[in-house]
Every structure is written in structure tokens, then in C-alpha cells.
Amino acid sequence: MSSSNVKLQHLRKSFFDIHHQKENVAVEDFSLDIQGGELVTLLGPSGCGKTTVLRMLAGFESPTSGHIILNDKDITQLPPNKRNSAMVFQSYALFPHMNVEENIMYGLKLRGFSKEEQSQKLSGFLDIVNLRGYEKRKPHELSGGQQQRVALARALIVKPAILLFDEPLSNLDAKLRESMRNEIRNIQKSLKITAVYVTHDQAEAMAISDRVVVMNKGKIEQIGSSQDVYLRPSTRFVADFMGAANFLTQANGKTLVVRPENIKLHSLQDSLTGEVRQASIKEYHFLGSVHEYHLHLQTGEKIVARLPVSMDEKPHFVGENIQVSFDQKNLHQLSG
Ligand code: ATP
């Protein structure tokens, strides 16, 4: 499968709100270059505009302004069926009266492939999505994960230039979500297919993506690798949205961000050097893999620390006065 590159240039989309008689901007000045074979995730809270960007890419919505370029061709005005893209939906959107193989081959049939060609292609994709033996089953006879695999095979079999995922795992339970996201990533990587993935789940975004686009109120807050957006967030919004974050204000007014797992706790007797603060423990929660402490620093700031759990370890106690230390390398200064 050849890898296509996609350029989104200054996309803007506004909707007219008939109830309030005004224009609502859903997406503003959205620019992104997606390399061939790359998986880029659009991540952000509900209503931030990620689905609208995906729908503009698919051709279900047309941008108010801006351009979409696929392999150097401007496809902004092309209808969905002329774009060579395929979408995997949260709801699977399978045909209930068709069995697995009929569902998967549907797109090939539409494109005029002969019965033999359809079966030949089907065979390869049944193995890729691990559905051999299920060919004759109807969607209601499949688990949620299996239904999503059918939807994935149906999207892949037409060899789309770009594969779009609209919260594909939202209907699955937590454990299955994790295994399915790994499966999707492995398949996408091995086929080198260019993909755009929409989710509001941070862990899913970080696990599956080459790059993450964090969105807020229709705009891009930051584009970067999973490590970038988690460890080196450019704004307070990104720091907060990507996971628990502590903010420390410096004398110069700049803000430092430090993740709870990068904080160390010590008893008052320990002699320490470097970035050290006095604190008291206000709250404690055992979360299984980590001890979580809520601390008040003497400076008045409130922070959360998460320490790894081991069998023989005795956690600190609520009310204890302690020292908190930070490794300089784990303190990141926000730019925005
Ligand atoms: P979610 O995670 O809840 O699906 P989202 O980030 O995908 O949210 P969008 O669905 O893209 O957000 O919506 C962005 C904004 O545009 C919202 O304020 C939404 O109400 C508005 N919007 C989306 N589609 C339409 C439409 N067809 N008509 C009017 N407003 C719309």
C-alpha cells in the first residue's frame, strides 16, 4: 500500500446557530502536514473541534475556508467518494443483514471488483484482522471487538489513501480498548497507511500516535510526539489535559510544570541539596500501582506526588511534615 501525505492548510469551519442567530466557529486556523505512513491523533475535550476536522478530511463537511491537499492535489471541494479515504466509526456502522465477509467486501463490490478478486483480497484481510472462521457470522453474533475488526477490514480492503478513525474504541471496555489500540497501531504500521485518529482519551492518543495534535476551542494548542506533549507541554492547558500536572511559580513569574511521578518525598531529617521544598501531607490514596499524596508546600502551592508501590514500603502518613525534592531535568518551563 503506498503512503500518502496530506496537508491541511488554515482550515476554518463555522456553523450558523439558528437559535441564537450567530456564527459559531468550530475550527480555526488549523494547519497540519501529515507524512506518508504517519498516524496523527487529534486529541482534546468534548466540543474542541476534532470531529469537525476529521469530517472535513473525509469530505462530510466542507471548510468555510482553507485547503486540504492530498498528494499535492487539492481535494477541498471533492465529495467523500472521490477522496479515496475510509473511516472507522465508534458505532462500527456495519450492515446488520450482511455477514462478516459481505460487510468486508462491500466496498470492493461498489468499486466493480469481480467475485474472484473480492474473495482473493478478503482472504488476506481476514488474517490481518484475525477474523478467519467468522466469515459467515452476522454482526449481532460478534463481540464489540470483533465488530470493530470487521469495520477496520472493510476500511482497509479498499486501500484508502488515508484512513480516518472517529473514536473507534469508545464502545469497548477498558481492557479490550488497550489490546485493540495495539492491534490497530500494528496493522497501520505494517501497511504503512497514513491515518488520522480522533479520541478524547489521553492514554490512547499517546500509545497509538506518531504525533499528537492537542486541540482546545477549535484551535491547535500543540503538535508533538507523545513524549513532547506529556513531558514538554507548551501551555498550561496541554500540561493539564495530558495528565495530572503540578505547577510551580518562579520568582520571575514563569511557570514550571512537574509530573506527580517526578516528585520525591523525604523525611525532615534527610539532608538534601538542589530543588527542595518543605511540605505537609494533606491526603493519601492507594491507587494500586502508585501511592498518591496531596501536599501543601510551605509556599502555599498545592501539589500531587505519585510514588511507585512496593510490598515492603511504608508510605508516609497524613499530617506528616516532609521535604519534597525535584530533579532539575524534570522541571519544564511553560512557554505559553
Ligand atoms: P466530541 O468529543 O464531543 O465529539 P469534538 O471535539 O469532536 O467533540 P466537534 O464535534 O467537532 O467537537 O464540534 C465542535 C463544535 O462545533 C461544537 O461546539 C459543536 O457544537 C459544533 N458543531 C459541530 N457540528 C455542528 C453542526 N453540524 N451544526 C452546528 N454546530 C456544530
pLDDT tens-digit map of 216-244: 999 999 999 999 999 999 999 999 999 99
| pLDDT reading at 120 higher than 90 | no
% of the chain surpassing 90 pLDDT:
70
Confidence of residue 74 (pLDDT cuts 50, 70, 90): very high
pLDDT at 2: 63
Confidence of residue 123 (pLDDT cuts 50, 70, 90): confident
Q: Which residue has the cell 498545592?
A: 302
Q: DSSP code of 140?
A: G
> What's the pTM?
0.92
| Rounded Cα gap, residues 210 and 216, in angstroms | 20
Question: SS3 of 228, please?
Answer: helix
% of the chain surpassing 70 pLDDT:
99
Report helix, strand and coil shares of the chain as percent, to nearest 5.
Answer: 30, 35, 40
Domain count, the chain: 2
Q: Is the CB of 62 under 6 A from ligand 1?
A: no
Mean pLDDT of 273-279: 88
Residues 125 and 156 in one domain: yes
Residues 198 and 292 in one domain: no
Domain annotation covers residue 270: yes
Residues 169 and 126 in one domain: yes
CA of 324 to the centre of ligand 1 (A): 43
Residues 92 and 162 in one domain: yes
CA of 49 to the centre of ligand 1 (A): 6
Q: Is the CB of 52 under 6 A from ligand 1?
A: yes
pLDDT tens-digit map of 36-65: 999 999 999 999 999 999 999 999 999 999
pLDDT at 91: 78
pLDDT at 170: 87
Residues 218 and 265 in one domain: no
pLDDT tens-digit map of 183-212: 899 999 998 999 999 999 999 999 999 999
Question: 218 is written with which cell numbers?
Answer: 477549535
Domain annotation covers residue 307: yes
Domain annotation covers residue 1: no
User: Mean pLDDT in the chain?
Assistant: 92
Helix segments in the chain, DSSP class H? 50-58, 100-110, 115-128, 144-156, 174-191, 202-208, 226-231, 236-242
Mean pLDDT of 123-146: 90
Residue with CA closest to ligand 1 atom 17: 47
Q: Structural domain of residue 260, as residue ranges?
A: 247-333
Nearest 5°: phi and psi at 195?
A: -140, 145
Q: Which residue has the cell 480516518?
A: 164
Question: 94 is written with which cell numbers?
Answer: 456495519
Q: Is the CB of 47 under 6 A from ligand 1?
A: yes
Question: 157 is written with which cell numbers?
Answer: 480492503
Mean pLDDT of 72-76: 95
Rg, the chain, Cα only: 24
Domain limit, last residue, from 189, 212, 237 = 237
Residues 201 and 255 in one domain: no
Residues 103 and 151 in one domain: yes
| pLDDT reading at 1 higher than 60 | no
| Rounded Cα gap, residues 53 and 200, in angstroms | 14
Residues 182 and 313 in one domain: no
Domain annotation covers residue 242: no
CA of 48 to the centre of ligand 1 (A): 7
CA distances from 175 to 170, 171, 191, 204, 208 (A): 12, 12, 25, 12, 15
Residues 191 and 102 in one domain: yes
Domain annotation covers residue 294: yes
Residues 30 and 119 in one domain: yes
Q: Is the CB of 51 under 6 A from ligand 1?
A: yes
Element of type H or E holding 43: strand 39-43
Q: What angle do the packed helices 144-156 and 100-110 form, to 10 degrees?
A: 20
C-beta of residue 331 within 8 angstroms of C-beta of residue 256 = yes
Residues 133 and 277 in one domain: no
CA of 8 to the centre of ligand 1 (A): 19
pLDDT tens-digit map of 83-106: 889 999 887 789 999 999 999 998
Residues 176 and 257 in one domain: no
Q: Is the CB of 199 under 6 A from ligand 1?
A: no
- The larger pLDDT score, comparing residue 235 to residue 125, is at 235
pLDDT tens-digit map of 151-164: 989 988 888 999 99
CA of 168 to the centre of ligand 1 (A): 17
CA trace torsion 181, 185, 188, 190 (10° rounding): -140
